[in-house]
Structure 1
Amino acid sequence: MRSTSRNRTSRAARAAAAAAAGALALSLTACGGDDNDSGNEQGGNDQETAGTVTLPKLNGESLEVAAVWTGAEQENFKKVLAEFEKRTGAKVTFVPAQDPIINFLGSKVAGGQPPDIAMLPQPGAIKQAVDKKWAKPLGAEAINELQENYSQGWQDIGKVDDKQYGVYYKAANKSLIWYNAKVFENAGATEPKTWDELLTTAQTVYDSGVTPFSVGGAEGWTLTDWFENIYLSQAGPEKYDQLAKHEIKWTDPSVKDALTTLAQVWGKKDYVAGGANGALQTDFPASVTQTFTGGDQPKAAMVYEGDFAQVNITQAKAEVGTDAKVFPFPAVGDTAPVVSGGDAAVILQDSKAAQALATFLASPDAATIQAKLGGYLSPNKNVDNSAYPNAVQQKIAKSLIDSGDDFRFDMSDQAPQAFGGTPGKGEWKALQDFLKNPSDIAGTQQKLEADAAAAYGN
């Protein structure tokens, strides 16, 4: 159903996952730069030629861009839009959207005022926008930028029916666990490479007097990310692809195995800051900041989430690479998981200005601006690795680029939004209920399957 799925033999799929996991592990233990030189294109008299991408003059044109981004993420993106304004003369307004963004866009379309471009966080949402005839295909200039700067895999997840609709401007490496370096040092804890070693590390931290894990259970997407990393590593990439497309049911034994493994953390109330009830009242930003405030006695020692957690680490006045360190999500099965996510720019009102902005967002120029500001990761392979502001983020970015097409996109983001992307419903709600009662594995599977069947229509 989704373009991210790959029909591979089990051996080939496992080899791909192993290669990607190896790239991640290597990149987080050995610093390496990637010095790419990009030449400037030459344009005509009505073209702006600063940077690597040629843009038209758009004096007097106005655009709206909608996204659910808030805080520093929103402010940093506005700096990218300001550069587009400077180069083209267009005026761009950022429109704050509510989650799920498809519902927000539906009300805008019904009112006859859709934004020109929307940043969609799920391939499933792109497909919905195409099916509803809201989305417009990318033009030749944007496609040329994509082909120049993106691996085939990142191009493909922005396609519907083999037509390009999305520019994946922002990516995420969702296979990371951040930890409070001082707590680990005091406890004598070491970075684990396997799930069993993670449990040992958690017990070591607990014995030192600090709760091992912070979980942002108030937002269901963080819980789906936990499940996906365990499932990908334990069940393997073929099963992962099948479950993502609902070709196998959520009552499959492989899901039972993953939930059983997950319960080894969620089921130990002393391992989760605030217990289940506390976690369910903790949003994602708080789950990060409480790991890095309180000196060497924070509310928790570790927090699982992607590279974008760096924004919140900084807000906690902790220094990435010194106070806050990171290790790859440990291997549960044969290989460590490599799960990615992202946000794609999709045109809703086709115009010269909208196509130009999509082209700009597909270029190294746009991504480099936000990369320098931190808390951001681009799948654009021609962004110089040195643009990222610290060695930790440089390593994370390099691992994403080095994995090429050998990654798995966030499973819940591939699902219909009613199942994989709606607060209080579907997978988000089922896993919140599971966090509250990790012993109810069979009931959780049945609820997941019923909601998935309704959302996928099968």
Structure 2
Amino acid sequence: MGLSQRNRRLAPLALIGAAGIALAGCGAPGAPEGGDGGGDGGSSTVTIYGTIVDSEAELLQESWADWAEENDIEIKYEGSQDFETQLGTRAQGGNPPDIAIFPQPGLFADFASRDFLKPAPEEVEKNANEFWTEDWVNYGTYDGTFYGAPLMANVKGWIWYSPAKFAEWGVEVPETLGDLTALTETIQAATGTPAWCAGFESGTATGWPGTDWIEDYVLRQAGPDVYDQWVNNEIPFTDPQIKTAFDSVGGILLNPANVNAGFGEVRSINSTAFGDVAPKVADGSCALTHQASFLSGFFPEGTNIAEDGDVWAFMLPGESAGEKAVTGAGEIVGAFSDSEATQKVLAYLSSPEWANSRVSLGGVTSANNGLEPDAAQDPILQETIKILQDPDTTFRFDASDLMPGAVGAGTFWKGMVAWVNGTSTDEVLQQIETGWPAG
């Protein structure tokens, strides 16, 4: 979820508004054929709608430009930071795009459950089964029917730092969570300032970076089975295992001695844009920050991202050394039209050819197994691709994206903001849990 390599701007995942909530809660009829690529199969224009904006949207359009010209298809892309609300309104009003790029599997399932989406064409399903893992295919499946293939992907849980500063302080990359605590203390002793910086601000989606912290700790401390149960509310937010993750994250984010380096007190986390932490790591104002692989696109132009460069990153470790458990996210592509041109575009977007085209332009990765790691120009993105393709990696999709929108993009995001602002952990956990639909 922009992208020249240095000007990337991630489109925030807007809160699901009234229209989105209505969509999930009412028996809305199936949408008619949408857009210029509608169901008559005669148009060579296909409309795509998504959250991707600014320079990233330009690169997205560049990624398919040659293919579209060769196939005599005009692809019209529109990006919006109010995607969820607007898509719900357009679908209910009978004017959806031909294709939507969904940033959340839970939202994707909402639309599939209301018969707004068309089942994926045979070629798309073939590509998905060949080039994506079963977990990824499942994210595009609803009630036994495959509706859409994944698009891009990212790995979360990277801890970004300055290799030169680590050498200056005489510290090394930690192998366990306990080592990370010791590293934090050592850096603070050496600098006399907080070691960490964090930013939760993202417009209407403010708070989502905090959910990433919690998800990483739940997976590492409680394990994948508990994580899966938590996603399905078989284990509630008020469960002690989830509170343990909050307490561990709070040991960093709620401790004035630990944050918010370069920005202010603890509460400044909520007013700091999530991408603004990158320049502070690059200039040495902040020693450590937690963010996904896409942060590589937020560093100032000229920043050398390499193991011996200006900035590098290590994966948040587990309780024991050598554990390979990571969280991540990505997009699922769904169609409101079954026109011939739309089906051709869907097939291309699910292919290794498109994945290599887009990744070669910089700033993003994909879990498509046909992707060549060297297609990524950025070394940290090359490492991300290797993690995504490693069969020994335990991968779990971002929990807030899998939960119903009222929780994942609602009470969970809001709860993280309230938590940083001083609301007690127990109260926050109870508030978040209230977002789960009854029954």
Short-chain TM bin: 0.7 to 0.9
CA drift of 1:216 comes to 1.4
Determine the structure 2 residue equivalent to 1:240. 227
Correspondence 1:190 to 2:176:
no
Correspondence 1:312 to 2:302:
no
CA drift of 1:192 comes to 1.0
Correspondence 1:449 to 2:433:
yes
CA drift of 1:316 comes to 5.0
Letter aligned with residue 221 of structure 1: W
Correspondence 1:260 to 2:222:
no
CA drift of 1:371 comes to 1.1
Determine the structure 2 residue equivalent to 1:217. 200
TM-score calculated relative to the size of structure 2: 0.84
- Could you tell me which of 46, 62, 65 is aligned with 1:82? 65
Quick one: distance in 1 between partners of 2:341 and 2:394?
Answer: 34
Quick one: distance in 1 between partners of 2:421 and 2:186?
Answer: 24
Contact 1:84 1:357 in 2 (8 A): no
CA drift of 1:377 comes to 1.0
Determine the structure 1 residue equivalent to 2:415. 430
State which drifts further: 336-345 or 203-212: 203-212
1:189 match: secondary structure: coil
- Could you tell me which of 102, 106, 112 is aligned with 2:84? 102
1:71–1:271: structure 2 CA closer, same or farther, 3 Å change rule?
A: farther
Counterparts of 1:6-405 in structure 2, within 5 Å, are 61-99=44-82, 101-209=83-191, 210-218=193-201, 219-273=206-260, 274-292=264-282, 295=283, 297-298=284-285, 300-313=286-299, 315-321=300-306, 322-332=309-319, 335=323, 337-403=325-391
Contact 2:325 2:394 in 1 (8 A): no
Quick one: distance in 1 between partners of 2:114 and 2:84?
Answer: 10
1:264-317 deviation per Cα after TM superposition (whole angstroms, max 9, x unaligned):
10121131222222111011211223322xx3x32x11221111111112x454
Contact 2:356 2:372 in 1 (8 A): yes
2:325 match: secondary structure: coil
1:208 match: secondary structure: helix
Quick one: distance in 2 between partners of 1:227 and 1:333?
Answer: 18
Determine the structure 2 residue equivalent to 1:55. none
TM-score calculated relative to the size of structure 1: 0.80
1:281–1:371: structure 2 CA closer, same or farther, 3 Å change rule?
A: same
CA drift of 1:333 comes to 6.3
1:90-120 deviation per Cα after TM superposition (whole angstroms, max 9, x unaligned):
1111111224x33220122244321111110
1:366-407 deviation per Cα after TM superposition (whole angstroms, max 9, x unaligned):
110111122111111011122111433222211111137841
Quick one: distance in 2 between partners of 1:404 and 1:191?
Answer: 21
CA RMSD of aligned residues (A): 2.0
Letter aligned with residue 345 of structure 1: V
CA drift of 1:208 comes to 2.9
1:63 match: secondary structure: strand
Quick one: distance in 2 between partners of 1:125 and 1:403?
Answer: 28
Letter aligned with residue 182 of structure 1: A
Quick one: distance in 1 between partners of 2:344 and 2:257?
Answer: 52
Quick one: distance in 1 between partners of 2:224 and 2:379?
Answer: 30
Contact 2:373 2:386 in 1 (8 A): yes
1:341 match: secondary structure: strand
1:156–1:278: structure 2 CA closer, same or farther, 3 Å change rule?
A: same
Aligned length: 388
CA drift of 1:206 comes to 1.9
Quick one: distance in 2 between partners of 1:84 and 1:67?
Answer: 20
1:186 match: secondary structure: helix
Quick one: distance in 2 between partners of 1:204 and 1:411?
Answer: 32
Quick one: distance in 2 between partners of 1:123 and 1:382?
Answer: 22
1:13-60 deviation per Cα after TM superposition (whole angstroms, max 9, x unaligned):
xxxxxxxxxxxxxxxxxxxxxxxxxxxxxxxxxxxxxxxxxxxxx996
Structure 1, unmatched stretches of 5+, are 1-57
1:199–1:72: structure 2 CA closer, same or farther, 3 Å change rule?
A: farther
